[in-house]
Structure 1
């Protein structure tokens, strides 16, 4: 009883107890909100890579792959992706516990360290990475571990700690290159003149760093065995070097214009401001002021991490950039904890220790409200959207079909369904963008030998041109594009009568401008079937899509998942237009009505609905639909003209309506 009273009065708690408390609370919440299966982006690919001990997209993530394989071997029950989602959650909980210990090393009061670590753990970006399989949580864990070890080394001057820091630094680099942003701060903390000038003192740490970095040897050693997922085939030195340095992504790096840089910087500021109740954002200000006065080295270390992370993030033009700002957010969280500490010391000076203790407990209480505030957005425990979407893609394709896509958010989850759940093995799934990588053809030949053989002439004509491009040799861009275009047409149309071909987009832009020129792109399900002009074929509406997708809470979807969600009303609308254009009004009506169950705020769908009603001579229903268009878009002239025609019953009757078609 006395010990509890002491804790309450002093706002103090034993570091180990505090760390375990943080781990238990955070792990419990993460596990309760973990996604039950795959999510978007890389989830499907990483799951298969871990299961098959394959090679992931650059930079390969060998450390995550090996640790993940150990985990699913130990936790051998349940869905593969779910087990790995739990793995991500436990990694995140360990990172939060280490952050608590790190704050303690920096002199932050224990209860405020609890508050700071919980604020970080339940911030939207961090929480999001802990509910699905991703590599960034492990980067955060190793980065925070390095900072904690560095602070201990600074106090204890124990050479063994320096050696351990070097080894962990090498291992971390073997997980993700953003680990380097943490290293920038660590070097500021640990380096001093005695280390730099004494080569004998740094020899062992350098060796241990290289030993940790040797985890990358997994890539060529495993690539030699040609696993199912063998991205980049890093079995030789040029391919290995290109893979671990992310060569294929350099087109999106360090070449942004000033407006693009400014746009990305604003994105970071919005992400930072979206932390829990903006505590981290505004508390960081007094924290930095406190550090200017008390601990300039810590200030420099945090600033280095933030600047490195933000500089790289704003110079990397990809949609899902938030995770690349995680090192900066961790540094801001530490600064925010210093802000809490500064206010605590101010209260102690101005009031008394008791008032300061009350403040500390109040800060902790507020931090415990953050999970409730972010719960709806972060909770993915009922999120089946991505796997249901992928399943609907499979349902949309006919037997023995080929699906040509340039959308990774479609390709990766469908690949998971095919290889992990054994669904639709009759389909040939081809990523159009990966056709620009020579290693991908080995995968295609192994997975679809007959299909590959049928297109061999075009493949063999394209590969020499691709070799010149990949190896930086002189090549003819027009020749390369022509051979690529020939290959796309062969893949889509060579087996037209035996393998119906589908696309995941209907426009004729870019590489699609010369694809299947004389073929219609007919919306069927979530796909567009390449079809010679002719008779309109039916499609089973009762098995059209998974019945739960239109009930999805879109607030819980990621930005990229929301784009996929829009595919449902888009394709339903376009199928309705296709049917109405061919005078199948009754069937078209069903598609328009189903589209509205996904999006009832889009004027274009009501316009199509009004057109279908007009074709069926249902004048009142048509007028109602066109009036709804005007409610949503008062400037829509097409709806206004159709209403006037229907009201006047012009010669030709209701079928004189005009329908605006937008693909």
Structure 2
């Protein structure tokens, strides 16, 4: 096993880098629609709908095409998109490490831990936006390294702009990468900034990459049945944000509806969140990746400063922003931070392997793409097995054992292969609801109901409203208006209606009826 990993064969390495994680994610993939955001994403993609902030037009465009695959149901297909994106992220990350002179064993140790990290694995087996985000980020890093090989080539500048545009169209958090990108360009090839032709090529590529934005006004004009960019009024009518205007698109893409959560912590609380991020990283990399990651970050900055600054600023911008983001589900939002740490860990592992083997660190040589004339073959140079001392074998084996330990520990947490609970819950709720019912619930109920209604054509008579999309005053007015006129089901009774309604259990929901009039006392 160690011998195979020492032999740096590019095609074999590529195959293992994508097939091993893909096989793992496919084996543990959710078999159908999953809950919460997954149901929202799957429904919007399949029906040409519109999502809440930050819109994700590239994901929706790609997802609409992906849902046409003739395999499984729509929920399974969108889960599969996450698996492919997660595995492709590992492949591109390995190619980045290969350019940075990291051998296959060190890369397998670092990226193996990334692949089995709880947050990364769990987002690779259900429909989510995060693994496509890391895939585009890894592609952007590779494009930057390739651009640095020939910084005056207009085609490479255009390719870089294209990838940046696509990444921005997928996830607005890509804007957090812009400081690192700008510093890298300025430090690696400052002369390129003085060439108008290169600026024109980059802007042209960026404009092409931003074309998925047209999804938003086009679908808005079509008035899709599934739209989460807006709010319901007191009459139960949905009032969408006007996405035919640039101001509406900017409102959606910038995440302005979540502005209250951005920088929602003070300095002390933010430091606490940063400490939690460090603890989370330590757990994800099983403790053994923390020290090598720090070592790799330092070595990269000292020996390849442009790349060191690039990854350091990527890490800092994402880490600081999401540490200060006041939401409860941000653990998975740190996946770009995980990706950078895995790259650093790979560099650190390689330095340790070289040190144990008594060799000069590979990182002391210039990285391909930053020195003109470097032969690409040198980046994938094999290492003769005869020169490895026993300590090197033990260290190499330890890296693989850590990955296997992570696999064993995370499997029960990330395995969704038998999880059909969201579908069963949704079907049960639809079956229990009376005709023409009004159903109001949160993320664990309504998106799944809407998937069954809009994607599979079940119970179109029911109006299901996500309570996230209706202000409390409008919710109160709507319930008072509809009481006695149609069956009403909620997952919890608004406090403003206490005493105004009679509540009975209706399977998994609460059934609301008008409260009976107070009894009159008998006169004597």
Q: TM-score range by the shorter chain?
A: 0.7 to 0.9
Of 420, 426, 439, which residue of structure 2 is paired with 1:390? Answer: 426
Contact 1:153 1:190 in 2 (8 A): no
User: Secondary structure of 1:308's partner?
Assistant: helix
Q: Which residue of 2 aligns with 1:329?
A: 338
Q: Which residue of 2 aligns with 1:582?
A: none
Contact 2:56 2:170 in 1 (8 A): yes
Q: CA RMSD in A?
A: 2.6
1:499-521 CA-partner distances (Å, limit 9, x unpaired): 12222113xxxxx3433642233
1:354-373 CA-partner distances (Å, limit 9, x unpaired): 12752335423542443223
Q: Which residue of 2 aligns with 1:149?
A: 143
Distance in structure 2 (CA, Å) of the matches to 1:252 and 1:400:
36
Does residue 77 of structure 2 align to residue 95 of structure 1? no
Of 208, 211, 223, which residue of structure 2 is paired with 1:211? Answer: 208
> TM-score of the superposition, structure 1-length normalised?
0.67
User: Secondary structure of 1:499's partner?
Assistant: coil
Cα displacement (A) at 1:400: 2.9
Q: Which residue of 1 aligns with 2:171?
A: 176
Cα displacement (A) at 1:32: 0.8
Contact 1:399 1:426 in 2 (8 A): yes
Distance in structure 1 (CA, Å) of the matches to 2:359 and 2:127:
48
1:232-278 CA-partner distances (Å, limit 9, x unpaired): 34122322221121221112112323454244324322321221423
Query: 5 Å matches for 1:427-442?
Result: 427-436=462-471
Change (3 A) 1:293 1:494: closer
- The structure showing larger relative contact order (alpha-carbon pairs under 8 Å, at least 6 residues apart) is 2
Q: Which residue of 1 aligns with 2:249?
A: 240
User: Secondary structure of 1:274's partner?
Assistant: helix
Distance in structure 1 (CA, Å) of the matches to 2:356 and 2:150:
31
Cα displacement (A) at 1:294: 2.6
Contact 2:144 2:160 in 1 (8 A): yes
Does residue 413 of structure 2 align to residue 413 of structure 1? no
User: Secondary structure of 1:277's partner?
Assistant: coil
Distance in structure 2 (CA, Å) of the matches to 1:9 and 1:307:
36
Query: 5 Å matches for 1:107-256?
Result: 107-157=101-151, 159=153, 160-191=155-186, 192-230=189-227, 231=229, 232-256=241-265
Cα displacement (A) at 1:413: 1.4
Q: Which residue of 1 aligns with 2:387?
A: 353
Distance in structure 2 (CA, Å) of the matches to 1:378 and 1:432:
28
Distance in structure 1 (CA, Å) of the matches to 2:116 and 2:23:
12
Contact 2:46 2:455 in 1 (8 A): no
Change (3 A) 1:181 1:20: farther
Distance in structure 2 (CA, Å) of the matches to 1:489 and 1:345:
67
User: Secondary structure of 1:139's partner?
Assistant: helix
1:274-327 CA-partner distances (Å, limit 9, x unpaired): 214233323212223333543333322222111100111022212211222111
Higher gyration radius (CA): 1
Change (3 A) 1:18 1:251: same
Q: Which residue of 2 aligns with 1:503?
A: 490
Change (3 A) 1:340 1:64: same
Distance in structure 1 (CA, Å) of the matches to 2:319 and 2:94:
24
Does residue 59 of structure 2 align to residue 64 of structure 1? yes
Contact 2:492 2:510 in 1 (8 A): yes
Cα displacement (A) at 1:384: 1.6
Contact 2:47 2:455 in 1 (8 A): no
Query: 5 Å matches for 1:282-297?
Result: 282-297=291-306
Change (3 A) 1:86 1:399: same
Distance in structure 1 (CA, Å) of the matches to 2:432 and 2:290:
46
Distance in structure 1 (CA, Å) of the matches to 2:475 and 2:337:
42
Q: Which residue of 2 aligns with 1:568?
A: none
Contact 1:504 1:527 in 2 (8 A): yes
Gaps of 5+ in 2: 230-240, 361-385, 518-524
How many residue pairs get matched? Answer: 475
Query: 5 Å matches for 1:219-618?
Result: 219-230=216-227, 231=229, 232-349=241-358, 353-355=387-389, 358=393, 359-405=395-441, 407-436=442-471, 485=473, 487-506=474-493, 512-515=494-497, 517-533=499-515
More helix by percentage: 1
User: Secondary structure of 2:434's partner?
Assistant: coil
Cα displacement (A) at 1:10: 8.6
Q: Which residue of 2 aligns with 1:42?
A: 37
Q: Runs (4+) of structure 1 moved beyond 6 Å? A: none
1:180-234 CA-partner distances (Å, limit 9, x unpaired): 3344434333333202222232221122112212221221122111122233341
Contact 2:8 2:104 in 1 (8 A): yes
Distance in structure 1 (CA, Å) of the matches to 2:206 and 2:72:
37
Contact 1:142 1:172 in 2 (8 A): yes
Cα displacement (A) at 1:39: 2.0
Distance in structure 2 (CA, Å) of the matches to 1:84 and 1:391:
20
Contact 1:403 1:430 in 2 (8 A): yes
Change (3 A) 1:77 1:110: closer
User: Secondary structure of 2:49's partner?
Assistant: coil
Gaps of 5+ in 1: 437-483, 507-511, 536-663
Q: Which residue of 2 aligns with 1:540?
A: none
